[in-house]
Structure 1
Amino acid sequence: MARVSVEIENHIARVTLTRGDKMNALDPEMMQAIVDAGESLMDNEDVRVVVLSGEGKAFCAGLDVMSFGIHAGSDPVELLMPRSHGNANLFQQVVMVWRKLPVPVLCALQGVAYGGGCQIALGADVRFAAPDTKMAVMEMKWGIVPDMGGMALLPHLTRSDVIRRLTYTAAPFDAAQALDWGLVSEIAEDPVAAAMALAEEIAGKSPSAIRAAKALIGFAEENKGDPDAVLLEESRVQSTLMGKPHQMEVIAANLQKRKPNFG
């Protein structure tokens, strides 16, 4: 059974979790399918933005606990410690692949985004949530800690006391609270439509500048304690864009009051 679908049209990649009958819960096959979907887009120059969503009544209910019986008796060190995907293991790459993609990733949430589902959403650049969406850092319910990249992402999004409260309690919280804490970007009646509208806007911008902007923002986040390095990187990135074909097309389009055509 297919776990994830990928459709590309007008420079927008629609990535959909397709295990709706199981609330898109994460079994081993789905985890691998999510990683494969993200990595399949990594070198696709035609893609300018990704919209990530889940079919059915939930974005992702988190780990399908029963399906991981295959790991019973496994050595956790051997299972988790190898870096099979650059700086990440497979479980972490399910989330981090979206942050590693060179183009923006917009996530549409509905129903629940629990545990691993919550962490996948955090890997996106922007998150739209339906008003009744529930989220949770759920791992403490099972006596474990977030281990799919959540701790690499949460400190960039919200306060330390919020991270601690959510991690210690595993308590669900609603979309309004998530918005207040900075864990979702916007509440929308139709989060997929909202994500697609933003995707279409981004897809009309300079492809090289959008990719450069995502990389620069990531650099700034990782080096926020070193403003000198960030200032230098700003200048370096800008020098790769100025006067190049995409920028010249933007200038011409603005002067001629038309949409740019990047080919």
Structure 2
Amino acid sequence: MNDRVTIAVSDGVADVRLNRADKMNALDPAMFDGIVDAIDRLAAMPHVRVAVLSGEGRAFCAGLDMASMAGGGSMLDLASRDWGPANKAQQVSWGWRTLPMPVIAAVHGVAFGGGFQIMSGADIRIAAPATRFAIRESYWGLVPDMAGVALWRTLARDDVLRELTYTAREFEAAEAERLGFVTRMADDPLAAAMALAREIAARNPHATRGAKRLYNLAADGDAAAVLDAETVEQLKVIRMPNQIEQVRANMETRAAVFAD
């Protein structure tokens, strides 16, 4: 993995950080590579129960580094589809949604354009009150193309998405929370995200992963498919060692010890 993204794992929680602080974690080709590689690495870590995604320095992610993408060639190079339905540009956002473990984004400073789309791939998003957001692409004469449209449809109303996309206007965390883009606000979003991650990591990891698969299916599946999936996922965990351990730990008022 290049140095654009760092991963540190402790007690089942991966602390994942965009690491280009001098450029407000703006997206250049190396950052795209680093994020995709980080997602691939996390997918191969069964001992990671929750991932927390944040940005070093003054911002979560300021979006595309327009200087490095000048002329459009570099962005067009990202359009090949090597990650199932997603191309490389989309995978940096969509990949967080497809990871087996929950992902919590801790957002501060700005999350513009591509940064806003990356944030939207997380299961849960916690933001500092002064954070500024924007679906920024139309400011540059572009359209959102990093999986944002596929992700936002489960977060906000269609007319809201159209207004924010057509105007590229900025908005802060209180409005983002009201519209559905932010789960909640916290003065220290990284600390809040890590605390929540530790709480989730203390639950049966197989049940948590099954629940994530169900909610991912709910975005597109019809009622019959979702109802069937609920049964399938429950049969995978009920009376299994981790589920039995969860019950015993609850009854004995102790921390559960799970097998990943």
Q: TM-score range by the shorter chain?
A: over 0.9
TM-score (norm 1): 0.95
Q: Which amino acid aligns with 1:254?
A: N
Contact 2:79–2:89 (CA under 8 A) maintained in structure 1: no
Structure 2 matches for 1:33-44, cutoff 5 A? 33-44=34-45
> Residue deviations 1:192-219, cap 9 Å, x none?
0000000000010001001111011111
Matches of 1:71 and 1:60, distance apart in 2 = 20
Q: What is the percent sequence identity of the aligned residues?
A: 50
Matches of 2:216 and 2:85, distance apart in 1 = 15
Corresponding residue number in structure 2 for 1:250? 246
Corresponding residue number in structure 2 for 1:45? 46
Corresponding residue number in structure 2 for 1:203? 201
Q: How many residues align?
A: 258
> Residue deviations 1:71-109, cap 9 Å, x none?
44x895xx4653121111110001111001000000011
Matches of 1:134 and 1:12, distance apart in 2 = 27
Q: Which amino acid aligns with 2:173?
A: A
Residue 104 of structure 1: which of 102, 105, 117 is its match?
Answer: 102
Matches of 2:104 and 2:183, distance apart in 1 = 10
Alpha-carbon RMSD: 1.4
Is the counterpart of residue 229 in structure 1 residue 230 in structure 2?
A: no
Matches of 2:205 and 2:75, distance apart in 1 = 44
Matches of 1:262 and 1:229, distance apart in 2 = 29
Corresponding residue number in structure 2 for 1:13? 14
Residue 259 of structure 1: which of 219, 234, 255 is its match?
Answer: 255
Unaligned runs of 5+ in 1: none
Matches of 1:220 and 1:234, distance apart in 2 = 10
Matches of 2:6 and 2:79, distance apart in 1 = 29
TM-fit CA distance, 1:243: 0.6
TM-fit CA distance, 1:186: 0.6
> Residue deviations 1:207-251, cap 9 Å, x none?
10011110111111221xx21211111111111111101001011
Unaligned runs of 5+ in 2: none
TM-score (norm 2): 0.96
CA, structure 1 residues 105+26, in 2 after alignment: closer, same or farther (shift >3 Å)?
Answer: same
- Displaced runs of 4 or more, over 4 A: none
